[in-house]
Amino acid sequence: MNIIVCIKQVPNTNVIKINPTTGTLIRDGVPSIMNPDDKGGLEMALRLKDQLGAKVTVITMGPPQADAICREAFAMGADRAIILSDRRFAGADTLATSYALSGAFKNLDYDMIICGRQAIDGDTAQVPVSLAQHLDLPQVTYVTDLEVNGNICTVTKETEEGHQILEVPTPCVLTVLASANQPRYMSVKGIMEAFDKEVEIWNADQIDVDQARLGLSGSPTRVKKSFTKPQKTPGQLYEVDAEEAVELIVSKLKEKFII
Amino acid sequence: MEKSDYKNIYVFAEQREGVIQSVALELLGKAHELAAILNEKVVAILCGHQIKSQAQMLIEYGADEVLCIDEPEMKDYLTEQYSQAIYQVVMQYKPSILMIGATTIGRDLAPRLACHLNTGLTADCTRLEISEEGELMMTRPAFGGNLMATIMCTNHRPQMSTVRPGVMQRMQRDASRKGEVVDFKPTFDASKFKVRLVKNVKEDKGKVDITEAKVLVSGGRGVGCKEGFEKLQSLAETFPNAEVSSSRAMVDAGVIDHDRQVGQTGKTVRPDLYLALGISGAIQHLAGMEESDLIIAVNKDKYAPIFGVADLGIVCDLNKVVPLLTARLAKEIKK
């Protein structure tokens, strides 16, 4: 079985800070990591490899620096890694990104495509689903568990009220939550070998696409402006003992007619 | 594509087991407001089986018309069935705007549809406005809520967006509103129905919806443990419509269920009162609660970022404040 896992290199948004004077993001020194949901997806694929002997390929789109997460994937146990990297992909929104990826998939063999639910930098969850549509494949999103029997995947999907059990035949697209599993650590042997393996770099000529639909020109959405949220003026701050604290809270609740 | 052919605002009226979801009513409220600016109408798309009786409610909450797709295939949400049906609605009626709730259903459906329609989609919008040129301006958080971006889709139609539950406000229900209910019959290609729903399991998670509560008593790392949250529960019970919620730290620690998590990866809330107890206020948490009408924060650390959004900040040990406050409010609210 061939499994392809889509991964993305993202800034660790938990440690991003805003420059208080300019109101812009401070990106310097922010570590880049493999997106957590994608890592959950990779772990799910590697468990299938352990059970059934699958071949696991990781693919990412981004600058050549994405090499770091490809090496990490190798060290965890992936067999092949591809970076789609070309200036012609720049400025792509989720539609153009998923279109470029679909062009790469047309040149690859796969039984299953596993993606993370969403990336922590954009949080849109749109690329995997659009990819499924481009490739005309069935999809299941928000996956927390997977069992494969022949060509049938039995999938657990998390919902607001609980979960669903769904059956989907391969080939299909699954999107996985980081909470689905505890990703394995890179092994020492894996790390040693990871540096000898080749990370393939594919450009726009190596995928099956209409070039006009790539990058910014293939993107129906445009970012009109971006801004940091206007800071709310904080209210009064009091350092008091518990009795005074209760008085302050109660009088505020009365002032605002909560009680 | 001729842009002028596209008009009216369509809202996907999500239902589960025949019950219209609150996010649908919230979207209708927003759509009603935007439609007034554009001088267009609001159309709700209602998919389900034996669902038509629910159409009137959508009209009372702001729809001018309801397109009802009442078919056995529409009983439970499945990606392919729903996207085929709604794709055909869009191709026939040509909406200028299509709004979908950012639920596990909406976020599964919307990108599939947008891609099929070759149009843009903006996820998890927190603000929707109409520009001077009559275009939809969709504002959403990015980078974990650190940055806001306003996104437009000027050359493609429909302009599509998803909105999380609890972000928009529904309008006052108006039983005198009238509207037309139109049946829509899609043609299905059943050969593409490949996903089968084996079972739908509802877990009893305490059956709470923190987005509906008027008062949230919210605990963070400072609360520490299950016993601490029991004390918050007692405090919440002094109010008529209060629930206990939490920051992500306590959910990750397994102290409280994910259902009650406020923030970027939890729920967006805007209660009348948000009482933040022992919550430091990571930006992802603030993104989910800063629209609350009144925010009162209690924290030992006077530099906690939560104080930056609080209307009243108390630097004190919450473990001392909570029992006293519970006793006092029990008296005050009874009066």
Say if the Cβ atoms of B156 and A220 lie within 8 Å: yes
pLDDT at A18: 67
CB A145 within 8 A of CB A156: yes
Chain A residues in contact with B302 (beta carbon < 8 A): 237, 239
Chain segment A155-196, per-residue pLDDT in tens: 999 998 889 999 999 999 999 999 899 999 999 999 999 999
Q: Where are the domains of chain A?
A: 2-218
- Distance (Å) from the alpha carbon of A72 to chain B's nearest alpha carbon: 23
Q: Which CATH architecture has domain B210-334?
A: 3-Layer(aba) Sandwich (3.40)
Pick the CATH number of B3-192 from 3.40.30.10, 3.30.450.40, 1.10.8.100, 3.40.50.620: 3.40.50.620
Given a cut of 70, whether residue B257 has pLDDT beyond it is yes
Burial class (CB in 10 A: 0-12, 13-18, 19+), B143: buried
Whether residues A221 and B122 touch (CB distance < 8 A) is answered with yes
Kind plus residue range of the DSSP H or E element containing B314: strand B312-315
Q: How far is CA A33 from CA A39, A59, A69, A75, B190, in A?
A: 10, 15, 7, 14, 41
Q: What is the mean pLDDT of chain A?
A: 93
H or E element at residue B181: strand B180-183
Residue B57: pLDDT over 90: yes
pTM here is: 0.86
Instruction: Write the ipTM.
Output: 0.90
Chain A positions in Cβ-Cβ contact with residue B114 (cut-off 8 Å): 95, 126, 130
Mode of pairing for the β-strands spanning A25-26 and A17-18: antiparallel
* Backbone φ/ψ region at B322: left (φ over 0), alpha (ψ -120 to 50), beta: alpha
Q: How many CB pairs under 8 A join A and B?
A: 236
Nearest CA in chain A to B319: A242
Q: Do A222 and B320 touch (CB under 8 A)?
A: no
In whole angstroms, what separates CA A112 from the centre of its chain? 17
Over residues B11-31, the mean pLDDT reads 97
Domains B3-192 and B210-334 belong to one CATH topology: yes
Chain B residues in contact with A220 (beta carbon < 8 A)? 118-120, 153, 155-156
CA distance B24 to chain A (A): 15
Q: Tell me which residue in A94, A162, A246 faces B324 most closely, judged by beta carbons.
A: A246
The pLDDT tens digits of the residues spanning A136-153 come to 999 999 999 999 999 999
- Contacting residues of A for B294, CB less than 8 Å apart: 252, 256, 258
Q: What three-state secondary structure class fits A162?
A: strand
Structural domain boundaries of chain B?
3-192, 210-334
User: What is the CATH code for A2-218?
Assistant: 3.40.50.620
Chain B nearest CA to A28, separation (Å): 14
Helix (H) or strand (E) run with residue B136 in it: strand B136-142
Kind of pairing between the strands at B136-142 and B147-152: antiparallel
> For residues B244 and B233, is the Cβ–Cβ distance under 8 A?
yes
**Strand, coil or helix: A196:** coil
E-only strand ranges, chain A: 2-6, 9-11, 17-18, 25-26, 32-34, 55-61, 80-84, 112-116, 139-149, 152-158, 162-169, 172-176, 199-202, 222-227, 236-239
Which of chain B's residues have a Cβ under 8 Å away from the Cβ of A121? Answer: 142-144
Interface test with chain A among B131, B143, B162, B258, by most A beta carbons within 10 Å = B143
3-state helix, strand, coil in chain B (%, to 5): 35, 25, 35
